[in-house]
Structure 1
Amino acid sequence: MKSNNTSLVSVIMPSYNHGHFIGETIKSVLSQTYCNIELIIIDNFSTDNTKEVISLYNDERLKVFYYENKGIIASARNYGVKKSRGEVLAFIDSDDIWYPNKLDVQLKYLSDYSISCISSNFIPIGDVFYFKRHLFFGKEEKYKDYGYNEIALANPVMTSSLLTKKEYFIDVGGFDESRDFCFIEDWELWLRMSRIANVRVLSESLIQYRIVKGKSRDFRDVSLRKLKIFDKHQSLGYISQHRKNVLLGNCFVSIGKAYLDANDRKGIKYYICGLRYSSGFNNKFRTIIGLFLFHIPLSIRKYIIESLYKLYSIINRKNK
């Protein structure tokens, strides 16, 4: 089923030294069943064969701009939006792939004013062994709608799957170009978008997301960046101090659990740090749990961590 929407869709693609992938990405965009598009590539002066690969595509819908983003991909995406003419925006990384019906499917939902943007499920490709992020839907679920609190706990949106109206993107100020938010600037934008209306994620997989070994960020680095985002949002009045503590607690508990799943004992420190933010656990209890976890066998420790994690989640749901 095709969309009745006739809006021009501007597809923004930042690129840097992805000559071995970008051709397939370009082809997936230009081959969309929805044809009223412009593909805007913002290249950070690639030093490989990216320029030569792009030149192989003789399509008037393809536009290329050269822009030094100084390592801040948010800057490149914002620059692409400034160069765009469409009423609707989509984003894709230069190594990901769209299925042919991606835009047609998503555009059907764009007139729903209860949502600010539309994302979709995805298929991971590449070094999938190193990938731990997944979206789960019920058997009959066509989509899920996410508000600020849900997105703050876990990012359900892949940048390459997003579709939104340009007016919404501009209203919230676009991607934050602060270096402090590098690598999670997309998640911070979804949080602001969700304050306009919910973010809808379709259960259908409409993109292939490429996984490259070493692409993911260090847990500690990400947690520190999240802390700065929560500081920003508290200062803007988006969240209370209590809600900020709940979010920070969840962040550190999740990091600790991930380390422990990898049999790394440093996860205990993160886990206890996360419990520190929960009003359901007093200091004495946290100290006892910390000492206990350090001295029990790994096989038993995992079961206890799982139980504490579930208890922690229940307590913080009640304290929203």
Structure 2
Amino acid sequence: MFEPIVTVLMPVYNGSRYLREAMDSITRQTFYDFEFLIINDGSADHSKDIITSYKDGRIRLIENEKNIGISASLNKGIAFARGRYIARMDGDDISMPERLYKQVLFMESHPQIGVCGSWVKTIGEWYQGQLWELSTEPEQIKCQLLFTTSLSHPSVLIRREVLKNTGLSYNGRYKYAQDYKLWMELAKTTLLANIPEALVQYRFNDNQVSTRYHREQMQEVDSIRLEQLYALGIAPTLAELEIHRRIASNAVFENEVFLQMADTWLKKIEERNQIVEYYPKAALSQLLHRFKARLHEKSGN
């Protein structure tokens, strides 16, 4: 049986508008040793026609009889994957030609890393041309998970052995923040990193999950944040959780009362971590101090 180095895993649901552009970006990779595993999740548009029009032996199409959602489709893909690594891809994004080559090279030379993402550049209807310079150091990435996801989902390359050894996969209870949940769980047992180069172009459009299901996604994000706060021994009040949300999204109130409450909240987190050591102490302190400095700079104090 052909066992490629990489399985590129891409679920598709009614994604015909940008699908060919996304597929071209994978089939034209400079790194050749991969299988392209596409899960057609009950699409009712021309997605299947586009996929089957490619005469590339590396493409494997799996069709769901009905729409089962992204988490279940990704888990199905993981079960079918034959590669040493699993590269995530979405049907509306674009991978740079050397993406797989650079990520495989990085992972081969950093065996302690379980998940490798990259910086991304935005394309599409909003935020055109923005560069997301995500943290690269594993300790900082783990700490940032207390506030938000620190990996761009369609940019990651996952060591399949890590998923097998931990028994982890995408949690079906999380329909809109399944990646954030998985990174949080994986960070308990392996290291996460980002390559400081934009290897993926991430598309913004009206049909994406973060636009159509923003409220539901934020509810799941809150759940993931709360799980980590509980691990620190903190049961936040509604007011504290709102402060946490605003710090995470940089949507802060520029007044003295909010600033004092935010300072108190960040101090509480740091003090609890000094006791339980859930996060690397120095890395979390640095992150919290950066948040505090940003708050004071924005408020002018």
Given the two structures, how large is their TM-score scaled by the length of structure 2? 0.76
Report if the CA contact (8 A) 1:25-1:96 is conserved.
yes
Question: CA 1:247/1:129 → structure 2, altered by over 3 Å: closer, same or farther?
Answer: farther
Which residue identity is paired with 1:84? Answer: A
Task: Quote how far apart the aligned CAs of 1:69 are.
Answer: 6.1
- Local SS of the residue matching 1:128: coil
Question: CA 1:130/1:37 → structure 2, altered by over 3 Å: closer, same or farther?
Answer: closer
Larger Rg: 1
Which residue identity is paired with 2:33? Answer: N
Mapped partners of 1:224, 1:51: distance in 2: 33
Q: Report 1:279-294 matches (<5 A).
A: none
Cross-structure match for 2:114: 116
Structure 1 gap segments, 5+ residues each: 1-5, 138-142, 262-270, 272-300
Q: Report 1:36-55 matches (<5 A).
A: 36-55=33-52
Report if the CA contact (8 A) 1:72-1:177 is conserved.
no
Question: CA 1:61/1:43 → structure 2, altered by over 3 Å: closer, same or farther?
Answer: same
Which residue identity is paired with 2:176? Answer: F
- Local SS of the residue matching 1:110: helix
Task: Quote how far apart the aligned CAs of 1:38 are.
Answer: 0.4
Identity of aligned residues (%): 21
Verify: 1:182 aligned to 2:175, yes or no. Answer: yes
Cross-structure match for 1:167: 161
Mapped partners of 1:309, 1:69: distance in 2: 46
Aligned counterpart in structure 2 of residue 242 of structure 1, from 229, 233, 244: 233
- Local SS of the residue matching 1:21: helix
Deviations 1:43-98 (A, max 9, x none): 01211111221122110001111014644211101111222211111111111110
Given the two structures, how large is their TM-score scaled by the length of structure 1? 0.72
Mapped partners of 1:93, 1:247: distance in 2: 37
221-230 or 196-205: which moved more? Answer: 221-230
Mapped partners of 1:131, 1:250: distance in 2: 34
Question: CA 1:131/1:247 → structure 2, altered by over 3 Å: closer, same or farther?
Answer: farther
Which residue identity is paired with 2:233? Answer: H
Cross-structure match for 1:78: 75
Aligned counterpart in structure 1 of residue 217 of structure 2, from 217, 222, 240: 222
Verify: 1:89 aligned to 2:86, yes or no. Answer: yes
Which residue identity is paired with 1:116? Answer: G
Question: CA 1:239/1:259 → structure 2, altered by over 3 Å: closer, same or farther?
Answer: closer
Mapped partners of 1:29, 1:119: distance in 2: 16
Which residue identity is paired with 2:47? Answer: T
Task: Quote how far apart the aligned CAs of 1:311 are.
Answer: 5.0
Task: Quote how far apart the aligned CAs of 1:148 are.
Answer: 3.8
Question: CA 1:68/1:162 → structure 2, altered by over 3 Å: closer, same or farther?
Answer: farther
Which residue identity is paired with 2:231? Answer: S
Verify: 1:302 aligned to 2:254, yes or no. Answer: yes
Q: Report 1:192-203 matches (<5 A).
A: 192-203=185-196
RMSD, aligned α-carbons: 3.3
Task: Quote how far apart the aligned CAs of 1:316 are.
Answer: 2.1
Mapped partners of 1:172, 1:22: distance in 2: 33
Deviations 1:127-180 (A, max 9, x none): 22499994356xxxxx322454332322111111111211112233343342x3
Question: CA 1:32/1:250 → structure 2, altered by over 3 Å: closer, same or farther?
Answer: farther
Which residue identity is paired with 1:108? Answer: L
Task: Quote how far apart the aligned CAs of 1:103 are.
Answer: 1.0
Mapped partners of 1:170, 1:103: distance in 2: 21
Question: CA 1:247/1:118 → structure 2, altered by over 3 Å: closer, same or farther?
Answer: farther
Question: CA 1:316/1:207 → structure 2, altered by over 3 Å: closer, same or farther?
Answer: same
Report if the CA contact (8 A) 2:42-2:66 is conserved.
no
Task: Quote how far apart the aligned CAs of 1:202 are.
Answer: 1.6
- Local SS of the residue matching 1:64: strand
Task: Quote how far apart the aligned CAs of 1:10 are.
Answer: 0.4
121-130 or 36-45: which moved more? Answer: 121-130
Question: CA 1:190/1:38 → structure 2, altered by over 3 Å: closer, same or farther?
Answer: same
Which residue identity is paired with 2:155? Answer: S
Which residue identity is paired with 1:121? Answer: W
Question: CA 1:20/1:226 → structure 2, altered by over 3 Å: closer, same or farther?
Answer: closer
Mapped partners of 1:153, 1:104: distance in 2: 31
Report if the CA contact (8 A) 1:69-1:75 is conserved.
no
